[in-house]
Amino acid sequence: MSSKRLKRATIIFFTTLLLFCFSTSQLFAASLKFTDITASRYDWVRPYIVKMNLAGVVKGMTDTTYGPDASVTREQLITMLVRLMGWESQTTGKTLPSTFPKASSVAPWARSYVALAVEKGIVSGKDMEDFRPADAAKRSEVAVFAVKALGLGQEAENRKNLSVSLTFTDGYMIEPEVRPYIEIAIEKGIMKGFPDNSFKPNDKFTRAQMATVLHNLSKLTKAYNIISGVVQDVDTELLPSVEIKLDDGTKKLYTVKLGETLIYKEDESGNLGEARLRDIKYGDFVNIISSANEAKYIDVISGGNAPVTSDDTVKGTIKEINLIRSTLTIKASDNKERIYNIKNQTKVYIDGNVATLYQLSAGQSVKLTVSGTDVGQIHAEGIDTVVEGIIRAVNTSTNVLTIENEDNDKYESYTLSSNVRVYRDNRAVDIYKLTIGDVATIIVSGSMIVEIEAESATREVSGFITGIDFASKNPVL
């Protein structure tokens, strides 16, 4: 063997050995800054705390403790949001307005952050009249401030006929003026309810929970100190590194230090779990926190694997729209499935007319304009069909009806047209008279429901039995 080959083989051998040696410690080293999140019960939140701390968004209660179980106060919450949005530099010299009640109650270190939040409309109305800076933030308050920080406050105020109070078992406890903010927070994947289908709007929010919300928000905006891009190359041997393509189309290489760089990857549920450099693949969408050109932290976002160049056009058929995670899955013309991120500014057109995401359906032919893994425009062909099945949901806030198609047993959602004709038990009725479980036939034109003929889920019928048919899935009497 030549000396050059021997040298290369030696390098690869020792690199592989190092990878093995660091496999169990690589992802734990940097997280040890905070000694109070090392217990196994904090495994679920450690990645989010470390990420936000490295990005400079959250700080510890002390140099070595984070205080994961402590409640996050309202002034801490505002400070974290301002930092995440990259506005910290704008706080210099900011003072609370003269109209701000009890300004002295706000901690001196937080006053400039709260002042900027007032200026940007995050703290307003009742929250400004009674800010209560040192009070523990409630879950409902976190939703309001987070949605406003994203610039969606006006959208929330414009929402009518909200269903969030019916979605959760404790929806009646959510104050009416807060409901649209919680609904948007749920839709955007910023927050979610509990396994028992409750929201617990008045529960105190912990610093651990706040780290997860900040992570969720960081996926919806250009977050402070976090660089996002699509992976172009991964070197796991000679020079451990990741090359990514940025939003502007330029490429940048980040070195990876084995045993120091933290690497995480989202699972199908969107939860971050430990990963290794070799788990990062070409086309993955990643977030990186770096020092110069050295990656200190990397996470791989699930669904961000659409290796196309910027400003490309992609044709295909919609397979799934996930409005909670803001992703669109299509089967492209090359028969490969691709997942793209739906952004706040994504424009939707059906048959050339301005439309909404709620009017899109699985099976619809689309042409996308994409930049990296983000969708700029969606051009869809309208659907004309007749569907028979069982009504499973009617959301009057988004004007969407979900029906279980009896032909394929799948749930399909369609947008209600503004002049939809509704009949129930052979009588013209308002859309609010429809009930989950009603058997219905819907007529869809241009991807919108124009007519609904429904029968009550339960009603009395008199007559003589003439036959029973067990041939179909649902026996007919």
Spell out the residues 6+ positions from residue 86 whose beta carbon is closer than 8 angstroms to its own: 222, 223, 224
Q: Which parts of the chain have pLDDT scores under 50? A: 1-31, 304-310
Paired tokens of 359: 């009017």
Report the pLDDT value the prediction gives residue 237, as an integer from 0 to 100. 86
As a whole number of angstroms, the longest Cα–Cα distance in the chain is 95
> Model's pTM, two decimal places?
0.61
* C-alpha to C-alpha distance for 177 and 32, rounded to whole angstroms: 42
Paired tokens of 419: 């002049």
Instruction: Say if CB 340 and CB 306 are below 8 A apart.
Output: yes
**Under DSSP, is residue 353 helix (H, G, I), strand (E, B) or coil?**
strand
**Right CATH number for 312-380 from 3.40.50.720, 2.40.50.320, 3.30.1110.20, 3.40.640.10?**
2.40.50.320
Instruction: Say if CB 442 and CB 414 are below 8 A apart.
Output: yes
* C-alpha to C-alpha distance for 184 and 176, rounded to whole angstroms: 14
Alpha carbon 324 to its chain's center = 6
Instruction: Say if CB 118 and CB 128 are below 8 A apart.
Output: yes
Instruction: Say if CB 40 and CB 276 are below 8 A apart.
Output: no
Q: Is 316 exposed, middle or buried (0-12, 13-18, 19+ CB in 10 A)?
A: buried
* C-alpha to C-alpha distance for 163 and 152, rounded to whole angstroms: 18
Instruction: Say if CB 347 and CB 372 are below 8 A apart.
Output: no
Which ranges constitute the DSSP H helices of 177-328? 179-187, 207-218
DSSP 8-state secondary structure symbol assigned to residue 236 = -
Strands 337-350 and 374-380: what pairing? parallel
Instruction: Say if CB 25 and CB 259 are below 8 A apart.
Output: yes
Topology adopted by domain 385-455:
OB fold (Dihydrolipoamide Acetyltransferase, E2P) (2.40.50)
Instruction: Say if CB 351 and CB 387 are below 8 A apart.
Output: no
DSSP letter string, 142-168:
HHHHHHHHTT-HHHHHH--S--HHHHS
Instruction: Say if CB 187 and CB 324 are below 8 A apart.
Output: yes
* C-alpha to C-alpha distance for 408 and 450, rounded to whole angstroms: 22
What are the distances in angstroms from CA 92 to CA 95, 123, 424?
9, 18, 62
Spell out the residues 6+ positions from residue 151 whose beta carbon is closer than 8 angstroms to its own: 344
Instruction: Say if CB 452 and CB 401 are below 8 A apart.
Output: yes
Paired tokens of 475: 């026996």
Segment (H or E) for 116 = helix 111-119
Strands 294-301 and 262-266: what pairing? parallel
Where does the chain hold its CATH 2.40.50.320 domain(s)? Answer: 312-380, 385-455
* C-alpha to C-alpha distance for 237 and 10, rounded to whole angstroms: 11
Report the pLDDT value the prediction gives residue 355, as an integer from 0 to 100. 79
